[in-house]
Amino acid sequence: MTRPLSILALGAALTASSVAAEGTLTISVYSFAQDAYKKALYDPFEEMCGCELVIETGNSIERMAKIEANAADPVIDMAVISSHDALSLANKGLLQPLDPAKLSSFDKLYPAAQDPLGGNMAVGYTFYASSIVYREDLVSIESWADLLGDGLAGNVSLPNITGTQGPLTLMMLDKAAGGDASDFTGTISAIGEHADDIVTFYSRSSELAQLMNQEEVIAAPVGRFAWSRFKSSPLPFAWADPAEGQAGGMNVMIMTANNGNEELAYKLMDYWLSTEVQTRVAEALIDSPANMEVVVSDEVAENLTYGAELINSLNILDPATIIANRDAWVDQWNTEVIR
Amino acid sequence: MSRLMIWLILGVTLTFLIGPFLIVIFAGMSAGEALAFPPQGLSLKWYAKVFTVESFRASFALSMFLAIFGTLAALLIGIPAAYALNRYDIPGAETIRTIVAAPIIVPGIIVGLALLRYFVVPLNVAITVALFVTHTALVLPYAVRVVSSSLNNLRADMEEAAVILGCTRLQAFTKVVLPNIRGGILAAFILGFVTSFNEVPASLFLSGPGVRTLPIDMLSYMEITFDPSVAALSALLAFMSVAIVFIAERLLGFSRYV
Amino acid sequence: MFLSRSEGLALALPAALFTFLVFLVPVGILLSVAFQTDTGAWSLQGYVDFFAQPLNQKVFFRTLKLGILVAGTAAVIGYLAAFCIVNLPATSRGRIFGLVVLPLMISPVARTYAWIVILGRTGIVNDVIVGLGLSSTPIRLLFTETAVFIGLLQLFLPLMIISLVSAMENIPRDVVPAARVLGASWFQVFFRIILPLTKEGLVIGGTLVFTGALTAYITPAILGGSKVLMLETLLYQKVNVSNDFVSASVIAMILIVMCFSANLALKRIASVKR
């Protein structure tokens, strides 16, 4: 009796996976705020296109590794990712250039978001500021240098060097020490000297939210996109405005090469960039808009990275610099910090 | 050793082994918003919340599918192998034994990575199929071992008698051997089921968009959730495994075979 | 035997071929990656590069150290617990033994998660420490080697106890009381009687616990995090973070070699010390 049953089961598994490829779009996104995204974007999109979205989540590195592993026969059709990760995928020839004519909202985007990597390899869909989230009942943060100060020793977490936030933190610590962002060797050494004071190096913003809500950590640098997770907590979290200013970055949309699902992917991208969705996503306090036409209330704006003035004030690290130096940073980090 | 000493040692050991679960069960019953022990008031709302998480339905179904059919497939090829290794004098029996036992020795995370890189990607195999194959391979050693020990207890001359009395080899197997090792097969099934259902390291790399086993899904849920529903989820999972084993033990006395 | 060999082979081959093709072949290819350079030539460079990195060395020795510590501690507690269990009356023996086996049936994810609730900054242990005034602020327990050690010990201790209990059940009941009556100290009883008679069980239990601790993933991932890397978590990082398959292959080989040699070494010890 077992034989027919297991053949049946195997058959079912095989057909299930091949049927799923029809009328479905597989996208790869960051793991935070998935419930909110479902409401603001995924559900309305599925209804509109009559197709099915399959969502893969994870941090950028994990998701990049998967895109690379499956390059010959892409599983992921479209992904949202940091600008430097997008650049590294583009350099490896894993992406296809986008056609702005197929994106009706293209002209409404901030100029910086329209073609951030050159060659139309990506289009920005959100800007974010990065600063320090902290427990205002326990500490006060005036400068990025406070992260390595005695006041936070034993209660601070830093982003891992391999993630997107890691290099931004290096840049701001370097700036606080009087550097000009050209060389982070000294900054990494300084972190190494304080390694025992650092609880852990987090690799996803959701992991940090977890650590801070469990009161393992009372201050850490993080991107503004994760702010809603802290704001909704019963604990008193605040967003620092350090003397050196805030760091910042942009996340972009990309299309994998030869995925064969371009039409649906463009549809989703265009919908995601539309004033309607960008406003909805902004009002849910998830991602700040890259679409200039989005108008939100002051209250909402306060929780986001909103408006040309703020966006222009951010300290941005050039994606090409990150790619050129990351291996050296990781080597030094592994030797001096994770001893 | 005095009575008191014995119970003291056992008490401390068992508290260390089992105490943490009791704490998780109660932490999940908190009426408050934060994970804490002792819980702030009692409520079952977090246990209820677990059932509303949509992705758990799919991953639970996948894990059940793998645990049931992966184990059945392992038994399907494992029983004949165990029978052959026990009753026949076959060339290379030691090699066959070593090969079949290998999945126990190789760390799971390596298995998952190897299958992803050199099975799934080059042969373009669906993740579900890869998971099925992996779980079958991981359960196979247990199936062979438990069924073997069951066959050891069954005297070979019973089948020989059946053959002499006119049965074919196949009839002797289905009419004499199978009914007598039924308990061992069920024990192997339950052991395989629990092993597969709780498996993490090998499944870690074998996940695709929307395809994840329950423990892997739980791990990522734990990462983005910090309310007591995570404790409730852990407790429910613990209950489930224990219930399966408990029922099996009551019905079959399966610990005799392991 | 009146059965034909080819018939037997035909029955055993599906299982062997299945495991060989879908299991051993991919694992074998993975292990061979580290022995090849980019051009395909055979070389040990991957291993040289791996051990040249201080972080990798550190993780290697930490994994070895925790494996030995966990196995050693489990042996001590295991002997105490097993000796108590075999000296219980039959009915309570079965029940207590059942309670020892129980945790093995529970998902390691659930088993490890419990320790977050216990060892966290707001967990019970810290509540007690602060409540008793032993420390004015909570102390750091999570993301330390201690946390990983405790988690691994709880995960694998049952395997040691089970092995030792079944070994001790084979010691004739009167031997220990007789030795005591004749004036042997507990120390002598253990080293002259119990240990020699339960060596097999110790070897099996020790191997299971040691290899289990080496190859656990969830416990070091959840309780150790990025600061207390072990070989398993390092391997995951090499693959998913740095996309470094050569290092992953090296780690895989190290883990397999460690598991095998633990097995061999313990067997050797057991057969020499008669």
- C166 located within any domain: yes
Contacts of B128 in chain A (CB under 8 A): 13-14, 16-17
Contacts of C83 in chain B (CB under 8 A): 1
In angstroms, the CA C271 to CA C199 distance is 9
Comparing CB atoms, the residue among A5, A13, A69 nearest residue B129 is A13
Residue A59's pLDDT band, with cuts at 50, 70 and 90, is: low
pLDDT at A65 over 80: no
Which pLDDT score is estimated for A20? 43
Q: Confirm or reject contact between C21 and chain B (CB < 8 A).
A: no
Burial B50-65 (b: 16+ CB within 10 A, else e): beebebbeebbebbeb
Q: What is the 3-state secondary structure (H, E, C) of C37-48?
A: CCCCCECCHHHH
Q: Tell me, what DSSP letter sits at residue C103?
A: G
Comparing CB atoms, the residue among C55, C58, C121 nearest residue A215 is C121
Interface of A with C in 190-209 (CB under 8 A): 198-203
Pair B10, C84: CB distance under 8 Å: yes
Pair A59, A163: CB distance under 8 Å: yes
Pair A83, A124: CB distance under 8 Å: yes
Contacts of A62 in chain C (CB under 8 A): 240-241
Q: What mean pLDDT do residues B59-63 have?
A: 92
Contacts of B66 in chain A (CB under 8 A): none
Query: How many domains does one find in chain B?
Result: 2
Better pLDDT: A229 or C253: C253
Cα–Cα nearest to B233, from C106, C5, A330, A41: C106
- Same domain membership, residue B166 and residue B79: yes
Cα–Cα nearest to A255, from A109, A123, A119: A123
Least confident of A154-158, A275-279, B218-222: B218-222
Which pLDDT score is estimated for B192? 92
Residue B255's pLDDT band, with cuts at 50, 70 and 90, is: low
Pair A51, A77: CB distance under 8 Å: no
Chain C nearest-CA distance from B44, in A, is 18
Q: Confirm or reject contact between C174 and chain B (CB < 8 A).
A: no
- C37 located within any domain: no
Comparing CB atoms, the residue among C121, C140, C226 nearest residue A214 is C121
Q: What mean pLDDT do residues C139-168 have?
A: 93
- C34 located within any domain: no
Which pLDDT score is estimated for C2? 47
Least confident of A84-88, B217-221, C161-165, C226-230: B217-221
By CB atoms closer than 10 A (0-12, 13-18, 19+), residue B4 is exposed
Per-residue model confidence as pLDDT tens digits over C65-84: 999 999 999 999 999 999 99
Residues 6+ apart with CB under 8 A from B102: B141, C19, C23, C24
pLDDT at A13 over 50: no
Which pLDDT score is estimated for C177? 87
Q: Domain of residue C249: give its range.
A: 53-272
Which pLDDT score is estimated for A120? 95
When the pLDDT of each residue in chain B is averaged and rounded to a whole number, the result is 86
DSSP 3-state assignment of A265? helix
Q: What mean pLDDT do residues C198-221 have?
A: 91
**Domains of chain A: residue spans and CATH:** 13-127+249-312 (3.40.190.10), 129-247+318-336 (3.40.190.10)
Q: What mean pLDDT do residues A172-193 have?
A: 93
Per-residue model confidence as pLDDT tens digits over B88-131: 888 888 899 889 988 888 888 899 989 988 888 778 788 899 99
Chain B nearest-CA distance from C24, in A, is 8
pLDDT at A75 over 60: yes
Chain-centre distance for alpha carbon A293: 23
Q: Confirm or reject contact between C36 and chain B (CB < 8 A).
A: no
CATH code, domain carrying C159 = 1.10.3720.10
Residue B253's pLDDT band, with cuts at 50, 70 and 90, is: low
In angstroms, the CA A195 to CA A154 distance is 9
Contacts of A57 in chain B (CB under 8 A): 220
**What's the CA dihedral at C213, C218, C220, C223 to 10 degrees?**
-130
Query: Are C55 and A339 within 8 A, CB to CB?
Result: yes
pLDDT at A28 over 60: yes
pLDDT at A305 over 90: yes
Which pLDDT score is estimated for A8? 41
- Same domain membership, residue B148 and residue B125: yes
Q: Domain of residue B28: give its range.
A: 1-43
Query: How many domains does one find in chain C?
Result: 1
Per-residue model confidence as pLDDT tens digits over B155-188: 888 888 888 888 888 888 888 888 888 888 988 8
- Same domain membership, residue B117 and residue B20: no
- Same domain membership, residue B226 and residue B155: yes
Dmax over Cα atoms in chain C, in whole Å? 78
- B48 located within any domain: no
Query: Are B88 and C117 within 8 A, CB to CB?
Result: no
- C209 located within any domain: yes
Which pLDDT score is estimated for A293? 94
Which pLDDT score is estimated for A314? 93
- Partners of A135 in beta bridges: A237
- Token pair 């029978």 is found at B83
Query: Are C9 and B90 within 8 A, CB to CB?
Result: yes
Which pLDDT score is estimated for A12? 41
Q: What mean pLDDT do residues C247-261 have?
A: 91
Q: Tell me, what DSSP letter sits at residue A291?
A: B
Q: Confirm or reject contact between B230 and chain A (CB < 8 A).
A: no
Residue B252's pLDDT band, with cuts at 50, 70 and 90, is: low
- Same domain membership, residue B222 and residue B114: yes
- C46 located within any domain: no
Measured over the CA atoms of residue A205, residue A211, residue A212 and residue A218, the dihedral's sign is negative
CATH code, domain carrying B89 = 1.10.3720.10
Query: Are A162 and C241 within 8 A, CB to CB?
Result: yes
- C259 located within any domain: yes
Torsions phi, psi of C142, nearest 5?
-70, 155
Which pLDDT score is estimated for B104? 82
Better pLDDT: C267 or C256: C256
When the pLDDT of each residue in chain A is averaged and rounded to a whole number, the result is 88
In angstroms, the CA A242 to CA B191 distance is 57
**Strand (E) positions, A209-279?**
219-223, 237-239, 247-255
In angstroms, the CA A194 to CA A185 distance is 15
Neighbours of chain B (3+ CB pairs under 8 A): A, C
When the pLDDT of each residue in chain C is averaged and rounded to a whole number, the result is 88
- B123 located within any domain: yes
Q: What mean pLDDT do residues A31-60 have?
A: 86
- Same domain membership, residue B205 and residue B142: yes
Which pLDDT score is estimated for B90? 86
Q: Confirm or reject contact between C143 and chain A (CB < 8 A).
A: yes
Cα–Cα nearest to C139, from C126, C152, C154: C126
Instruction: Give whole-number Cα distances, A73 to A67, A68, B123, in Å.
Output: 9, 10, 11
- C29 located within any domain: no
Which pLDDT score is estimated for C67? 96
Terminal Cα distance for chain A, rounded: 57
Q: What is the pTM of this model?
A: 0.84
Contacts of C54 in chain A (CB under 8 A): 334-335, 339
- C162 located within any domain: yes
